[in-house]
Chain A
Amino acid sequence: MDPILTSRIMSDVLGGLTNGVVYGLVALSLVLVWRSTGILNFAQGAMPMFATYVGMGLLSYHLSYWPCVAISIVAGFAVGGVTERVLVRGLYGKPEINPIVVMVGFLIVLEGAAAAIWSTKPRGLPNPFSSIDYQIGGKPFGLSDFSVFEIITAVAVMVIIASLFRFTKLGLQLRASALSPEVSRLLGVRVGRMLTLGWMLSTGVGTVTTILVASNYFTGLTPQVMDGVFAFGFIAAAVGGLDSPVGAIISGISIGIILQFVGDYFNSNDIILVALLILVVSLMVRPNGLFTRSSVRRV
């Protein structure tokens, strides 16, 4: 067997890729909301967390795994839509601090409510796939059934979102209302609905991400399950540029791989430090992100 396939480097790359697609998904969901409404959603981790509790809670009512996943995603759409209608609607055009503060408040309310209803005890989600690494010639190879599933799911979500935006009339309307709400309204696009839809999609993507994260045997589902992942996802989105979905995914995957090496060769405590360093350095070099085309702000 080729020794390169079972080397430490290869296993780090593959492990990093598995984490990286998750960061990329979180970054993508942040970009979706940012592009459509100009708001950085700090509750982007907590809203899907809540939806996942609702959906996966049905497991204890003898519902099987896949229907629960579907219900979770629908709950995610609902949470996103309701949040946009009730909380966010009044915040458009306000100083940029206002939505940040409101969404941070929503984050702690959701985490508090989830802990009050379902307790802070980690809840293990049944994992439909094995997490044991594949063996090549008796040596572990950095992938398992579950991580392959994780990567395939993430790529599928990315492809679905991309084709929705690129190839459908709905996607065109979504892009138009983000680009120029007034002209779109003039041309008959229901801009309000498009904004709601943007939040629904974003929370739906977030719910898929949360299920992937919480299916990990070591974390389980907790009210704070997405806090750390959100931080990495935000770093990925900021490094890539909040305007760029492709940038979000690429930098999410790159950061995942870099951090896997850091965790393996240094210390697990250093992971978040290096992530912070990447963020600080990249923001100093390019404050609007590496993949954003225009960096000039209109006055």
Chain B
Amino acid sequence: MAASATTRRAAVGASTGVLAVVLSFAFASSTRVAVALSLFLVILIKGMVLLTSAQLRATHPVIARAALTVVVIDVVLFATYFFPANTNSNLAIGAAMSIVLLGLSFLTGASGQISLGNGAFMGVGAFAMAIWANHHATSPIAVGLLVAVVSGAAMGLLLGLPATRLRGPYLAGMTLAFAVAFSAILSSFNSWTGGDSGLQLPTAATPPQWLLNFFGPGTSLLTTNSMWTADIAIFVAGIAFFFMANLFASRTGRAMRLIRDNDVAAELVGVSLPRTRVVAFVVSSAYAALGGSLTTLIDNAVSPSTYSFALSITILSLVVIGGIGTIPGALIGGIIFAYSNSVITWITNQTGLNPQGNLASQLNGIIFGVLLIATMLFAPMGIAGTVRHLRHRRRRRVPG
């Protein structure tokens, strides 16, 4: 039975794929568009076919996760082609931030540690990317991102070593001290970091020629560039989410959750506390750095004032509001971050506040702070955790 179901699914998938290709070529305005459209649809269908197989989800969860990642990347990348420039730049910012959030969410949710310094780790990646690009102008973007990840991980290891022996409040305080010290650290390496004015990237991230050809002449630079950076950010975020989902489910992830719930029991069954804790901290720092390097890419520049202590608190707020230790929570937080400025502007306009006034300029911090407190007091699992909880409860109520 199972075999025939698999065969049937494969047959349906293949025929839909062929149909999709035929339709693309029939209706698209040019061959190029038709190729793109059929590529998009074939990837989508192939992914969906894999995803809908319950058997595959049970026996090969990694492949199922990969399929989900590919489908999501496929759909979102396709969508960026139609989005206006400002939607794309919001999407890019949201994707970059969601990587950072995922890192902290993992640290806190899986290992029970907390960091108030992830804004500074983000800054480490942002500056590493900019410094690298300024010294190696021709190096591909991927190398810059990799350099940023490695520097973030190295910095995380440096600070994480004492963290292996620390419990919650001490670690939180130490990372807070790092966040507060970060601007002084940047000033100490003035000749590298460009001091107060920060750094510019030598060249803006522009799409390759074949993609520009695809757009055809006359498309504005703003449109193509914002689409390109959004695509990079979404692609990288997809990979980062894929890795994290696997890490969550892996032996290491389970060991971390055991430490969070009962560290004595964890040691008893042979989990190395120091090593697992330091791994969690390093992964979280590396993710923050990756998000930071994407931010440099999106902004085409990096400024030290961006990576203040306030950013670290914003990151913490977004993780808590989205849902600690959940993957959708990191996405929700990223979206909130991308649109928070627009929402604040909207509120300011609606209430008739003076946009240059004291209250309007503080609204962002006050709202995030109130939401942070309210979430922790009344729904400590955040949006994603609460939704999941409600869904489980409803499912349990239905008999059978």
Contact = CB atoms under 8 A, between A and B. Distances in A.
Interface stretch (B23-31, B53-61, B334-342, B354-362): B354-362
A104 B380 CA distance: 15
A272 B181 contact: yes
A116 to B, nearest CB: 4
A179 B203 CA distance: 62
Nearest to B190: A269
Contacts of B369: 105-109, 112
B169 A104 contact: no
A234 interface: yes
A267 B185 CA distance: 12
B161 A101 contact: no
Interface string A86-120: 01001100111110111011111101110111111
B108 interface: yes
B271 interface: no
B159 A108 contact: no
Interface in A56-110: 87, 90-91, 94-98, 100-102, 104-109
Nearest to A282: B162
A291 interface: no
A182 interface: no
B358 A117 contact: yes
A107 to B, nearest CB: 8
Given A104-B313, A112-B362, A115-B362, A96 B173 contact: no
A231 B177 contact: yes
Interface in B317-373: 317, 320, 324, 358-359, 361-363, 365-366, 368-373
A104 B372 contact: yes
Contacts of A106: 369, 373
B177 A104 contact: no
Nearest to B360: A116
A273 to B, nearest CB: 6
Contacts of B313: 104, 107-108
Contact of B309 (A87, A90, A95, A227): A227
Contacts of A87: 373, 377
B243 to A, nearest CB: 24
A98 B381 CA distance: 11
B95 interface: no
B178 interface: yes
Given A96-B167, A280-B162, A227 B180 contact: yes
Interface in B15-51: none
Interface in A167-210: none
A270 interface: yes
B180 A105 contact: no
B143 interface: no
Nearest to B165: A287
A97 B381 CA distance: 12
A102 B376 contact: yes
B86 interface: no
Contacts of A39: 169
A248 interface: no
Interface residues of A, number: 52
B366 A113 contact: yes
A97 B264 contact: no
B168 to A, nearest CB: 4
Contacts of A284: 161-162, 165
B365 A111 contact: yes
Contact of A234 (B162, B166, B176, B324): B176
Nearest to A96: B168
Nearest to A277: B181
B173 A234 contact: yes
A42 interface: yes
Given A102-B377, A283-B166, A115 B358 contact: yes
A105 B376 CA distance: 9
Which of A106, A227, A234, A299 has the most B CB atoms < 10 Å from its CB?
A234
Contacts of B165: 283-284, 287
Contacts of A117: 358
A101 B168 contact: no
B141 interface: no
Given A100-B172, A102-B372, A104-B313, 14 more contacts: A97-B324, A98-B380, A101-B320, A102-B373, A104-B316, A108-B365, A234-B177, A242-B170, A269-B184, A270-B184, A272-B177, A276-B177, A276-B181, A287-B165
* Smallest CB-CB A-B distances: 10 pairs: A105-B372, A109-B369, A40-B169, A112-B366, A112-B365, A108-B369, A96-B168, A105-B373, A112-B362, A272-B181
